[in-house]
Structure 1
Amino acid sequence: MDFFCPAKRLIIELDGGHHNDDAIAERDSERQAWLEQEGYRVIRFWNSDVAADLSAALERIYVEVHGALDAEALPLKHLRRR
């Protein structure tokens, strides 16, 4: 897990080229399925895509967090489970 937003139950993964390896890709897939079963959303970016177009990656994250590009960005507050 590279970044985590608990208030939105959102996990952001940045993957390097080694994630193309069959064994690692399979492990990633299994882990992502488990996280999604636990109620998390997982989005993935290739490192090279982020480096080539950071704005596109940030826009996708914004949409995941706020629902649309034109949505007002409101502060998020994580509610701790006790």
Structure 2
Amino acid sequence: MVKKKAAAHILSEDERTTLLAIIDEQFGPGLIREEFDEAMLDLFENIPGFETISPAKASHTVNQLWSTYHGKEARREQ
């Protein structure tokens, strides 16, 4: 499971990989942006410390994760 990283709500590379693997396992590689955002924010609710993440920080983190998720999807299509 993803561990809390201080109050700054920072995810390690391993934690990012784990979150993306959970999304991929539960929903597959074809989520549209809105679906991805909702799924990721739901996961944040289960990470100690992330249930209180500010909307701005959550958006920033989800944007970073989306870039990775979306990039993997594009590579699968090639």
TM-score w.r.t. structure 2 length?
0.32
TM-score (norm 1): 0.30
**Comparing both chains, which one has the higher relative contact order based on Cα–Cα distances under 8 Å and sequence gaps of 6 or more?**
2
Bigger CA radius of gyration? 1
Larger strand proportion, structure 1 or 2? 1
Hey, which of these two has a bigger chunk of helix by percent?
Answer: 2
